[in-house]
Structure 1
Amino acid sequence: MRAVVFGEFGTMPAVQEVPDPVPAPDGVVVRVEATGLCRSDWHGWMGHDDGITLPHVPGHELAGRVETVGASVLTWRPGDRVTVPFVCACGRCDACAAGEQQVCEAQEQPGFTHWGSFAELVPLRHADTNLVAVPDSMSFLTAASLGCRFATAYRAVAERGRVRPGEWLAVHGCGGVGLSAVMIAAAAGARVVAVDVAARALELAREFGAAATVDATAVPDTAAAVRDATNGGADVSVDALGSAATCAASVLSLRRRGRHVQVGLLPGGGTPVPMDRVVSYEIDVLGSHGMAAHAYPRLMRQVAAGNLRPDLLVTSVIGLDAAPAALAAMGERPAAVTAGMTVITPQV
């Protein structure tokens, strides 16, 4: 098969011919029809994540058709249309038994713990726990956008942030996760203020329902600008980018007893947080890490009904040969990924 491969962290990947994967007894191999290009892939390529073994194939937001099936798989057959959460659970640990597969104690992540979906074929283990059926009415482009960014934003806004109609939600960073959060919160009846450095990202945020926007390049203090726009501070704030600046601004943009949700990954695993404000305002600090496969049907129903339109977030579609340069460009400037989602179609 053809795949995007890098042999050293931070060096330009290349499209190469590599051996086809073979399914594990409890796994499948999926023929990738669409796979998202995510900032998490850039972090992995740069070596910011532990556990990546070189050489490596990135990619974790995928949709396609089951190609081959392991001997012990019960539910899936070749030809089935599927997607998968970016956290693939073991199905056996205490977290999985509690229905919290997104924090599985033995989780795997395509594109991180093993070769991923910037390829014509991708192997996935524990298929009966992790695969999600994609209806015939849903395009593979739409399904691929659900696997990480949209599903992650859905759980971050609806379940972790517990946003309610009429509340103010601030979104810091309007890339794929951030724009998804804007759309999801607006559909839930919340008022959204979107923060970004790119004019096109803010334009899209307004199209997707943001009531107010803040251009972070035009104000000296984005947190203060959010507090002004929300008459005292947001009820919920999401750091959808993942940086010291956006994390701190998210916390500082909240009103008293607000809820900060950290979604964007932070290089090095940590960053200073204004804990004095957390204490004095009694702010809830929450992490959000994807969404379990069993939780997808509710999201799928809203997409099928047209209440949510993740397909509108896909602003660029490229082939596999263009993927290496697109991955590298993510590090040049965060704004390079703030105008919607780029999706790779390996079979084209």
Structure 2
Amino acid sequence: MRAVVFERYGEQAAVREVPDPRPADHGVVVRVEATGLCRSDWHGWQGHDPDIALPHVPGHELAGVVEAVGARVSRWQPGDRVTVPFVCACGTCPACAAGDHQICERQTQPGFTHWGSFAQYVALDHADVNLVAVPDDMSSATAASLGCRFATAFRAVVQQGRVAAGEWVAVHGCGGVGLSAVMIAAASGARVVAVDVSPGALDLARKFGAVECVDASKPTDTLTDTAAAVRDLTGGGAHLSLDALGSPVTCAASVNGLRRRGRHVQVGLLPSPDGTTPVPMARAIALELELLGSHGMAAHTYPPMLELVRAGVLRPDLLVTSTIPLDAAPAALAAMGTAPGAGVTVIEPWN
């Protein structure tokens, strides 16, 4: 098969021929019809994920058709259209027994713990636990956007963030996951403040339901002034705030922009040289803030989200702003380090 492969961290990947994958006895091989280009893939390419072994094929946000099944798989067969969370759970550890598949103790992640979906085929583990059927009327490009960014945003806003109608929600970083969060929060009846450095990203945020926008490129002291702008616009601070980008500045601005007893949800990865990120804990203590993490979404919790998509309340298809062939993926991956986010780019490996 053809796949995007990188041999060294941070050096240009290339498309080349590699062996086709084979399914584990509990897994499947999926013919990849569409796969999202996500900032997490860029982090992996930069060497920020210790699970990656070189050479490596990135990609974790996918939809396609089951090509082959392992001997122990009972729920799926070749020809089924499927997507999958980026966290593939084992289904048997204590966390999985509690229903918390997104923090499985023995999880695997395509594109991180093993070769991923920037390829014509990808192997996925524990298929009976992790695969999600794609509705007949949903395109593969839309389905691919669900597996990481949209599902992650849904859990962060609805399940972890406990959004309520009428609340103020601040979203820091309006790439794929941030725009998904804007759409989901607005559809939940919240008033959304979108924060980004890109005018284009803010325009999309307005399109998807943001009632206020903050251009974080303008303040001279982004850490202070962005949070102050959010507090001013919301009459005292957001009830719920998400760092959807993942940087010390956006994390701190999200926390500093909260009102009393507000809720911060960290979604964006926070790589740093020493593994730590400064967080304004004095404010968290004084205002009794909640600081929460959110890590994907379990396959068994997809149905309520899919029902909202089916009903047209949520429109993940509108987030897909670019579709590219596999040959364009290496350059697009490298550009994620400097190019501002503007919706979701989907790779079509067979195009």
TM-score by length of 2: 0.98
- 1:242-262 per-position Cα deviation (integer Å, ceiling 9, x unaligned): 000000000000001000000
- Aligned twin of 2:241: 237
- The amino acid of 1:9's aligned partner reads Y
Whether the 8 Å contact between 1:7 and 1:54 is mirrored in structure 2 is yes
Give the aligned residue type for 1:291.
Answer: M
Q: Please identify runs of 4+ aligned residues in structure 1 that moved more than 6 A.
A: none
| CA offset digits 1:1-55 (Å, max 9, x no partner) | 0000001111100001000001000100000000000000000000001110100
Q: Does 1:190 align with 2:196?
A: no
Q: Does 1:37 align with 2:37?
A: yes
Residue 239 of structure 2 aligns with an amino acid whose one-letter code is D
Matched, 1:258 2:262: yes
1:135 deviates by 1.1
Q: Distance in 2 between matches of 1:17 and 1:159?
A: 41
Q: 2:280 aligns with which of 270, 274, 285?
A: 274
Question: Which range moved further: 211-220 or 253-262?
Answer: 211-220
**Deviation at 1:272?**
0.3
Deviation of 1:217 (Å):
1.2
* Matched pairs, number: 345
- Tell me the alpha carbon deviations over residues 275-308 of structure 1, each in whole angstroms, 9 at most, x when there is no partner: 0111111100000000000001111111011000
Give the alignment's Cα RMSD to 1 decimal: 0.6
Matched position secondary structure for 1:214: strand
Q: Does 1:290 align with 2:308?
A: no
- Deviation, 1:331, is 1.1
**Counterpart Cα distance in 2 of 1:270 and 1:82:** 37
Give me the whole-angstrom Cα distance separating, in 2, the residues matched to 1:149 and 1:122: 19
Is 2:85 the counterpart of 1:85? yes
Aligned twin of 1:318:
324
CA positional deviation for 1:132: 0.3
Q: Distance in 2 between matches of 1:252 and 1:53?
A: 38
Q: Deviations over 1:106-137 (max 9, x none)?
A: 00000000000000000001000000000111
- Letter of the 1:286 partner, please give it: L
Give the Cα–Cα distance (whole angstroms) in 2 for the partners of residues 132 and 319 of structure 1. 25
- Which amino acid is 2:299 matched to? A
TM-score of the two chains, using structure 1 as the length reference: 0.98
3-state SS in 2 of match to 1:267: coil
Unaligned 5+ residue runs, structure 1?
A: none
Q: Distance in 1 between matches of 2:238 and 2:198?
A: 21
